[in-house]
Structure 1
Amino acid sequence: MKHEEKGLSIWQLTMLALGTVVGGSFFLGSSVAIRAAGPSVLLAYIIGGCLVYFILTALSEMTVANPASGSFRTYAEQAFGRGAGFTVGWVYWTGLVLAMSSEATAASILLRSWFPALSLPLLGTVIIILVTLLNLLGAERLSKLESGLAAVKLLAIAAFVVIAVCLVAGIGTAVFGGAGGQGGEVAAGYSVLTGEPWMPGGVGGIAGSMLMVMFTYAGFEVLGLAASETGNPAVTIPKAIRLTTILLVGLYLAAITALFLLIPRSLVSEEVSPFVSALTLHGLGWTGTVMNIVLVTAILSTMLASLFGLGRMLRSLADEGHTPVWMRDRSDIPYRGILVSGGAMLGALGLGLMLPQGIYLFLVSSGGFSLLLVYVVIMASHYRLRMRHTGSSAQRRGMKGFPYTSWLTIGSLIAIIASMPLIPGQGGGLAAGSMFVLLFAGLYALGRFRRRSPKQSRQPVRPLASVSTLSPGYAKAEMSEEWTDDKTRK
């Protein structure tokens, strides 16, 4: 009982997940989806929420059966072999490291408007070092900080919805100040939608917006990586997943609906946050500074939670023998994984200064592909493992509509990945991500070939013994269903 009481709570896990998910992609990137689909983007957010629910349900089912620190990487290895676990783990780690280095650059640009004397490289370096040091404090302390940062973002979204309601009711200017909109009094409410086409891009517009919508949901996989930090994953993880899904979908739908009651689609710019544009249109220009503060908070929160996951992913790779020996870490906090990941982010920040901008953006855009690839892998691993263990208690409590919902989710995710070249700037992400998949698959194949060489085959016992002692999660694969049934009977 003492062990079950320790670890992250349901609320801490939820705030950790929201800290990763709600970031600049929503506060800034949602404008791209709005421009593509108009008011019908609400349908895209509902579809995206359904996909998130199915992915999280699949992840929850596997996590309850085997709460391994490697999460989806470990499950891919159990389902498809060591090569799949190696490739997925390193593609995810590399893509996220590059993406977070670009987030550090974005935060530096925002901070420089307040501290013009400081250079962008210096600000970016300080941000990455700070995020790394905070992660070294451990999951318990980090979750408290992450809860505070996530609360700022959630309150900002809730405050926007409240302000929108006041503006629609005609009391916004009196309550929040301002002197009317640009060029005089601007109406707010259903009249803004009058004459606005509900589906300006047709079904194609909704499909084209799905990529950016999924990016605004991206990051929830940290729930699986945090499973090893909870005292009772069988209870905590499923509840945290349900709470995360409800809060995410509810807040996003409320905020986007409020947007369409304040600003026409034609006035939304992809270069400015749609929330700032909407409030400025109604004479609340002071919100620009507030939104910049929220954006910096959102970016720092995302970086903190992402590095949390990166450190644990690297520890999982090390435990399976997929890294050099010196990277193995047996402490509760994966110090080496966190430090190596933080160092890699600094290296990626340096690449951004040395490489031509086009090449660097090509590499950085792989982060989006790596996240979508992970979601496909989660669903495919769940399908494979569940088909392998038919008739178990996990099957009765798990995903509804299996296997049809699995096929539908996998097909939808593949379609979204295939649409990446249709979105300006995302074609490079598909190309760079595919390049990393081929690179790491090739590295694994090369390593396996070298291990099978005549020189290596003379000593087969030692490497096999070392792997078995370092792979408790892998060894649990065949016992996961019995373990689950055991827990149910108790």
Structure 2
Amino acid sequence: MERKSKGLSVWQLAMLALGTVVGGSFFLGSSVAIRAAGPSVLIAYVIGGFLVYFILTALSEMTVANPASGSFRTYTEQAFGRGAGFTVGWVYWTGLVLAMSSEATAASILIRGWYPRLSLPLLGIAIIVLVTLLNLLGAERLGKLESGLAAIKLSAIAAFVVLAVWLVARMWTGGLPAAGGQGAGAAAGYGALRGEPWMPGGIGGIAGSMLMVMFTYAGFEVLGLAASETRNPAVTIPKAIRLTMVLLIGLYLAAITALFLLIPRSLVSEEISPFVSALTLHGLGWTGTVMNIVLVTAILSTMLASVFGLGRMLRSLAEEGHTPAWMKDRTDIPYRGILVSGGAMLAALGLGLLLPQGVYLFLVSSGGFSLLFVYVVIMASHYRLRKRHGGPFGQGRGMRGFPYTSWLSIGGLIAIIVSMPLIPGQGGGLVAGLMFLLVFAALYAVGRIRRTSPVQSRKPTRQLSPVRPISPGFANAELSEELTEQKTKK
């Protein structure tokens, strides 16, 4: 397939993962988690990091042993049967198509802030067409582009941390008036970690922040899904996982800590990026424009990686007979899967213009459910396949703490899914996600009945073929809902 003789290095894989993970949910959506948990949101980020590590380790263990085209969809099919593989693949594809169409709307709103005369629908169409065409260039070129976009986002976080340290140091030495002379509010911001309760919402606050924290980590699975692009997956993937986790958790914790050194929780607004609020409080209001540029970059990066995964998911579904035969791609790049996914995103964008706003956001929010649902499926599939295998899939010892870490991860993810209705705007995501789950399960059941009827000739079940894994992106539906609602208010 698209496997290259040279392959991706550990650093390239880590940069690809960081580029896909660090998206709009962190730059804007983290304010929801901060409001819920206060400074103790740092604990939520650590817990989320452990969950990510175990999910990623489980996925990479399966991927190194069998670099299959459908990745988690294929492993689900191996563990639980064709019906489960069909349902998981289509729930993921549908949820992500809807979420990414909303991401296009979010980016359009940001761009139109600079160019008010541009048409919002035309901007959305142009963005979707652009990311679709770029995906047709192939994995190697797309990886280079993603690395460039990742550099912008990571540099923005690192610059914020350095700037925060500089501001705090200036205030300590008396060289800078607190928050540019804004008085008590600035002093509270400077002393936030000392002057505010560490856990203002208690354990419930930490639990309530976990949904948005997991959204900010979304996209990490690209590491486990890129095994066939590496020189030596058994060596490269584990090293890339360790490097990514150190950089990701380190940057996140440093950035959130810097936030609390500059601004109190009470001044964080869910409608404005907390990074913009913190710097504006200290007389750096011009950072709003810079942060909007970073937000657009983050959204485009998310969409590029997501379309990459959507195309390969369709190819995997087609290869297993779960789509019409004409969707099968026999080239290295899944052109048909990419084009069909791009077309579906355009159709979903049209739904946003035709349907009432509430109905559209109800459908779009299913992207968050599909993401968490996939993570549960990854852990459940790994658990069942490893039990069936009788031990680790490779020569190593596999995931640490098995099976206890599997049980804890699955339980934690289910608890986060159940908590979705407690977060404003996410209850609809749970309902919509469950709706799609039931619809696709029913479609498979109906199709199976038709295939096994006397009129139909039953086709032999295909063997799962070890071909190239996919790289699904990550749902940032919360960011899109925030920006879309702002557009509606205007």
Distance 1:434 1:176 in 2: 53
Q: Tell whether 2:53 aligns with 1:60.
A: no
Q: 1:168 to 1:268 in 2, by over 3 A?
A: same
Q: Tell whether 2:468 aligns with 1:472.
A: no
Gaps of 5+ in 1: 475-490
Distance 1:177 1:89 in 2: 55
Q: Tell whether 2:11 aligns with 1:8.
A: no
Q: Tell whether 2:105 aligns with 1:105.
A: yes
1:326-356 per-residue CA deviation (whole Å, 9 max, x = no partner) reads: 0000211111111111111111111000000
Q: Which moved more, 1:362-371 or 1:178-187?
A: 178-187
Question: Shift of residue 293 of structure 1?
Answer: 0.5
8 Å CA contact 1:178–1:285 kept in 2: the answer is no
Question: Shift of residue 232 of structure 1?
Answer: 2.7
Structure 2 residue matching 1:69: 3-state secondary structure: coil
The 5 A counterparts of 1:402-421 are: 402-421=402-421
Match of 1:136 in 2: 136
Q: Tell whether 2:252 aligns with 1:252.
A: yes
Q: 1:179 to 1:66 in 2, by over 3 A?
A: closer
- Higher RCO (Cα < 8 Å, 6 or more apart): 2
Distance 1:174 1:285 in 2: 22
8 Å CA contact 2:167–2:176 kept in 1: the answer is no
Percent identity (aligned): 83
Q: Tell whether 2:270 aligns with 1:270.
A: yes
Q: For 1:384, give the aligned amino acid.
A: R
8 Å CA contact 2:30–2:216 kept in 1: the answer is yes
Q: For 1:15, give the aligned amino acid.
A: M
8 Å CA contact 1:8–1:139 kept in 2: the answer is no
Structure 2 residue matching 1:205: 3-state secondary structure: helix
Distance 2:64 2:207 in 1: 33
Structure 1 residue matching 2:394: 3-state secondary structure: helix
Distance 2:194 2:364 in 1: 40
Q: For 2:111, give the aligned amino acid.
A: L
Q: Tell whether 2:35 aligns with 1:35.
A: yes
Distance 1:309 1:124 in 2: 20
Question: Shift of residue 473 of structure 1?
Answer: 3.4
8 Å CA contact 1:35–1:265 kept in 2: the answer is yes
1:165-188 per-residue CA deviation (whole Å, 9 max, x = no partner) reads: 000100799999998154589348
Structure 1 residue matching 2:166: 3-state secondary structure: helix
Distance 2:71 2:176 in 1: 46
Distance 2:391 2:239 in 1: 24
Q: 1:176 to 1:85 in 2, by over 3 A?
A: farther
Match of 1:282 in 2: 282
Question: Shift of residue 390 of structure 1?
Answer: 1.1
Match of 1:378 in 2: 378
Q: For 1:260, give the aligned amino acid.
A: F
Q: For 1:275, give the aligned amino acid.
A: F
1:236-278 per-residue CA deviation (whole Å, 9 max, x = no partner) reads: 2222222222211111000000000000000000000000000
Distance 2:353 2:185 in 1: 46
Distance 1:179 1:264 in 2: 12
Match of 1:446 in 2: 446
Distance 2:107 2:69 in 1: 30
Match of 1:486 in 2: none
Question: Shift of residue 130 of structure 1?
Answer: 0.5
8 Å CA contact 1:132–1:339 kept in 2: the answer is yes
Q: 1:27 to 1:175 in 2, by over 3 A?
A: farther
Question: Shift of residue 113 of structure 1?
Answer: 1.1
Q: For 2:441, give the aligned amino acid.
A: A
Q: Which moved more, 1:214-223 or 1:407-416?
A: 214-223
Q: For 1:473, give the aligned amino acid.
A: P
Match of 2:343 in 1: 343
Question: Shift of residue 6 of structure 1?
Answer: 2.4
8 Å CA contact 2:135–2:304 kept in 1: the answer is yes
Normalising by the residue count of structure 2, what TM-score does the alignment of the two structures yield? 0.91
Q: For 1:55, give the aligned amino acid.
A: I
Question: Shift of residue 228 of structure 1?
Answer: 3.1
Q: 1:391 to 1:367 in 2, by over 3 A?
A: closer
Q: 1:175 to 1:116 in 2, by over 3 A?
A: farther
Distance 2:193 2:67 in 1: 48
1:376-434 per-residue CA deviation (whole Å, 9 max, x = no partner) reads: 00000000000011145637421111100100000000000000001110000000000
Q: 1:185 to 1:422 in 2, by over 3 A?
A: closer
Match of 2:218 in 1: 218
The 5 A counterparts of 1:163-178 are: 163-170=163-170
Q: 1:34 to 1:392 in 2, by over 3 A?
A: closer
8 Å CA contact 2:170–2:176 kept in 1: the answer is no
Distance 2:328 2:232 in 1: 25
Question: Shift of residue 235 of structure 1?
Answer: 2.2
Distance 2:152 2:430 in 1: 33
After TM superposition, what 4+ stretches of structure 1 lie above 6 angstroms from structure 2? 171-179
Distance 2:386 2:404 in 1: 13
Distance 2:42 2:156 in 1: 20
Q: For 2:283, give the aligned amino acid.
A: G
Structure 2 residue matching 1:180: 3-state secondary structure: helix
Question: Shift of residue 13 of structure 1?
Answer: 2.1
Distance 1:439 1:227 in 2: 32
Distance 2:175 2:66 in 1: 52
Normalising by the residue count of structure 1, what TM-score does the alignment of the two structures yield? 0.91
1:7-59 per-residue CA deviation (whole Å, 9 max, x = no partner) reads: 33322222222222111100000000000000000000000000000000100
Structure 1 residue matching 2:118: 3-state secondary structure: coil
Distance 2:393 2:57 in 1: 15
Question: Shift of residue 94 of structure 1?
Answer: 0.6
8 Å CA contact 1:181–1:281 kept in 2: the answer is no
Structure 1 residue matching 2:116: 3-state secondary structure: coil
8 Å CA contact 2:189–2:264 kept in 1: the answer is no
Q: For 2:247, give the aligned amino acid.
A: L
Question: Shift of residue 195 of structure 1?
Answer: 2.8
Structure 2 residue matching 1:261: 3-state secondary structure: helix
Distance 1:147 1:139 in 2: 12
8 Å CA contact 1:365–1:432 kept in 2: the answer is yes
Report the RMSD for the aligned CA atoms in angstroms. Answer: 2.2
Match of 1:301 in 2: 301
Distance 1:177 1:171 in 2: 7
